[in-house]
Structure 1
């Protein structure tokens, strides 16, 4: 298990690649979250470790709650200004406020899950090429530890990042190679990488058979990559069909509903048919398309296909 104490809070605060204002915001949120870290939160800590997010569980949870509170407060004020004179102001204000809070809080676990999923996808794509490179290194007589070290300094995406964690534990923390590999085996999010690390750890202990194993595994994963390419194309087709049948057809049906209700003189509540049409065309339709594009971006932004 990854313990909370393994995460350096000061490292999270002093990440030079992050905007200083974001870091100050993290520090502000952590004032409320530091009490959470007094008790071990192993599941959250492990998920953050797998997502390569340098945060403590307390900082992550406080970021979610404080951000949700601020977003809800902004929506509450805007709702008061917009819906005070409506027929049911309390309904609009309360629904929008609580909906904003719930969506913001749930967005943080979703973001964490998405980062882990994208990382696993990247590992799956890079593994065949990584194993090919490792096969060449093993053929030249490199030991398993030397192979891992060279992969860690190369650019093989998240595979290099994961192997870099092994070298950190060996070179900085002073652990032996087998113990460092076992730590990665327990905590990596990729099942494919876990299986390979188990075999590498066995090769470290036995001292043989690495080249033959890597050649066989490289061919196997290359075949899997070709299947994944086909699945990638199929999934894009599913998203395209979903957009046509879900978004486009919904647009047509809503427009027809507004036109028909207007022609028949049906009451649409506090809004006229013109107001409903303008709200749908200028707000709902762009919003739906933006959400759909965000989903596509989150799904495929890190895909190497």
Structure 2
């Protein structure tokens, strides 16, 4: 269904983007990094159509709200409008409707359009993180397979078929595709993957492997060295993560357990004395504590994924 939507959008706006290939070089590269099976012109056509639909939907919603609730009452004063503006207040409905519609239309269109452009960048960063997190284990697997006498091409083919290694396996599938379908040799396929992968760690690993292959070195030894390096770096990052997690735990207890309890007791006592309004107590209980807990859950979740 989504493909039909983008094809329909391409039929409408495709020719506009076909002439601007160089302008969207970065977008094309990010789409390639995400392994998104879609051309930049088709993708941007879908972005333009989606932004247009969302903008007009927002315009209809804005017009409906104005028609139901009307325009807010405006009075000329030195704090809002100068007195000379008073005779023109009779046209406020037209002015608010016109300028409000233009602002809503442009704002929603710009936001949706920019989100489409930023989406490949965001997902590319997410793929980079997932590749980096699984790369040490994938290299360890390659070292074991190489030690068993498996040829490099068969090694990458085996890794590409193994779903345990997630995005690393996806990257290897493209390397195998270049060899089996496009007819490239192993070194050329590795160079192509180096140029298109979002992970700098995988780029470094492949460049080193290319050097070893072209110089006639031993891949098994190289894989073992890289395995030790990545596992050492992984242990160090896990240690730093645990230390950071402990610090965040202490901060959480202080800011959102002991701190709110202390404030609740103090405000309760002061409210009974008539010095503080009870509304501050409600703000702490129903706003500060829930929002703070949600923020910490999001923070810990993001850090755990990175680790």
Q: Give the CA RMSD over aligned residues.
A: 3.5
- Say how many residue pairs are matched: 241
| 1:154 counterpart = 2:145 | no
| 1:37 counterpart = 2:18 | yes
Unmatched runs of 5 consecutive residues or more in structure 1: 1-19, 250-284
| 1:61 counterpart = 2:69 | no
Q: Distance in 1 between matches of 2:12 and 2:168?
A: 35
Q: Distance in 2 between matches of 1:299 and 1:94?
A: 38
CA contact (8 A) 1:135 1:215 kept: yes
Distance 1:231 1:63, change over 3 A: farther
Q: Where do 4+ consecutive residues of structure 1 move more than 4 Å?
A: 230-238, 295-301
Deviation at 1:296, TM superposition (A): 6.9
Structure 2 matches for 1:15-26, cutoff 5 A?
20=1, 22-26=2-6
Residue 210 (structure 1) aligned to one of 219, 226, 229: 219
CA contact (8 A) 2:153 2:186 kept: yes
Deviation at 1:160, TM superposition (A): 0.9
Q: Distance in 2 between matches of 1:178 and 1:137?
A: 19
Structure 2 matches for 1:226-305, cutoff 5 A?
226-229=235-238, 234=244, 237=248, 303=305, 305=307
Larger Rg: 2
Q: Distance in 1 between matches of 2:214 and 2:226?
A: 19
Unmatched runs of 5 consecutive residues or more in structure 2: 73-91, 261-287
Determine the structure 2 residue equivalent to 1:136: 144
Q: After superposition, what is the alpha-carbon deviation per residue over 1:168-220, rounded to whole angstroms, capped at 9, x for unaligned?
A: 01101111111111111122111100011112222332343212221221122
Distance 1:56 1:136, change over 3 A: same
Distance 1:70 1:176, change over 3 A: same
Deviation at 1:226, TM superposition (A): 3.2
Determine the structure 2 residue equivalent to 1:47: 30
State TM-score, norm by structure 2.
Answer: 0.68
CA contact (8 A) 1:144 1:203 kept: no
